[in-house]
């Protein structure tokens, strides 16, 4: 299908982006890599009146250490995160997961800020960020604010981001050599996961088990009580609400959540 007509505005700074958004109103959308937004525009699930192209804001592309955290600019592309020496040394789950997103075309155009703001419950990187207990930094007319990832994704395509704000950075703790695990099940390697599980330091996050990526809180609580990996993983689907589609029904997804959580935890403990 063909998207509805729209205006196009190119900006070179965060201030220009926010000014353009204020000028064009709530029907304007930011465009970075475009691999999340353009497909839903073609289906007319999103019909913005204006696209504000922020891909030229070079100041928002970086991966660097800041104190006990790793800061990642919102316009850092997946392949840049995958190849980052800083990320590999300080938070190695992220380059691993970034390397499993879609295909090379998607990884070379898609940005971490775009996938965070899109809030697709089947997204790889948000699942890892949730397990890392990261923070999303946003900026609007009132300045910057930090939103914990546990409070950022509210539902399908819904976030805590205000209509006049822009994601500018993601921050995650430096995990160093601590173990982690990431497991996903797909029909084909470059597909969205039917279910995915990320495990980091006793935290577990799941993709495609609710309207947004979610933490497997029953599993985390069981681990904190001293339960075995098998016992804790058996609780992974508790409190989730998976849907059913052509790829699998809800019960199949619950089975996958338990299985992949066990595998992710075993890898993290290895």
CA distances from 22 to 8, 26, 74, 84, 141 (A): 15, 8, 20, 34, 9
The CA distance from 227 to 222, in Å, is: 5
Looking at the predicted structure, is the pLDDT value of residue 40 above 90? no
pLDDT tens string 120-164: 999 999 999 999 999 999 999 999 999 999 999 999 989 999 999
Q: Which of 258, 120, 268 has its CA nearest to residue 193?
A: 120
Beta-ladder partners of 245: 248
pLDDT of residue 1: 67
Q: Please tell me the predicted confidence (pLDDT) of residue 39.
A: 78
Average pLDDT for 54-65 = 96
- Answer whether 9's CB lies under 8 Å from 24's CB: yes
CA-atom Rg of the chain in angstroms: 18
When the pLDDT of each residue in the chain is averaged and rounded to a whole number, the result is 94
Average pLDDT, integer, range 64-74: 97
- Give the tens place of pLDDT for each residue, 193-243: 999 999 999 999 999 999 999 999 999 999 999 999 999 999 999 999 999
For residue 259 the two structure tokens come to 């299985």
């Amino acid at each position: 299908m063909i998207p509805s007509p729209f205006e196009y505005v190119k900006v070179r700074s965060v201030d220009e982006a926010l000014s353009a958004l204020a000028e064009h109103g709530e029907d304007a959308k930011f465009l970075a890599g475009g691999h999340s937004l353009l497909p839903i525009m073609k289906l007319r699930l999103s019909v913005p009146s204006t696209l504000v192209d922020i891909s030229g804001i070079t100041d928002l592309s970086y991966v660097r250490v800041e104190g006990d955290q790793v800061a990642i600019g919102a316009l850092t592309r997946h392949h840049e995160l995958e190849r980052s020496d800083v990320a590999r040394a300080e938070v190695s789950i992220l380059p691993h997961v970034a390397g499993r997103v879609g295909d090379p075309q998607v990884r070379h155009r898609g940005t971490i800020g775009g996938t965070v703001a899109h809030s697709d419950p089947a997204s790889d990187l948000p699942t890892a960020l949730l397990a890392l207990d990261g923070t999303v930094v946003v900026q609007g007319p009132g300045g910057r604010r930090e939103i914990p990832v546990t409070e950022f994704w509210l539902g399908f395509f819904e976030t805590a981001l205000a209509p006049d704000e822009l994601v500018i950075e993601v921050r995650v703790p430096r995990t160093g050599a601590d173990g982690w695990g990431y497991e996903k099940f797909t029909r084909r390697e470059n597909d969205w996961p039917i279910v995915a599980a990320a495990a980091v330091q006793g935290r577990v996050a799941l993709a495609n088990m609710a309207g947004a990526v979610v933490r497997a809180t029953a599993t985390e609580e069981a681990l904190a009580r001293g339960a075995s990996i098998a016992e804790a993983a058996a609780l992974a689907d508790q409190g989730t609400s998976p849907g059913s589609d052509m790829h699998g029904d809800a019960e199949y997804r619950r089975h996958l959540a338990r299985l992949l959580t066990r595998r992710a935890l075993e890898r993290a403990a290895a």
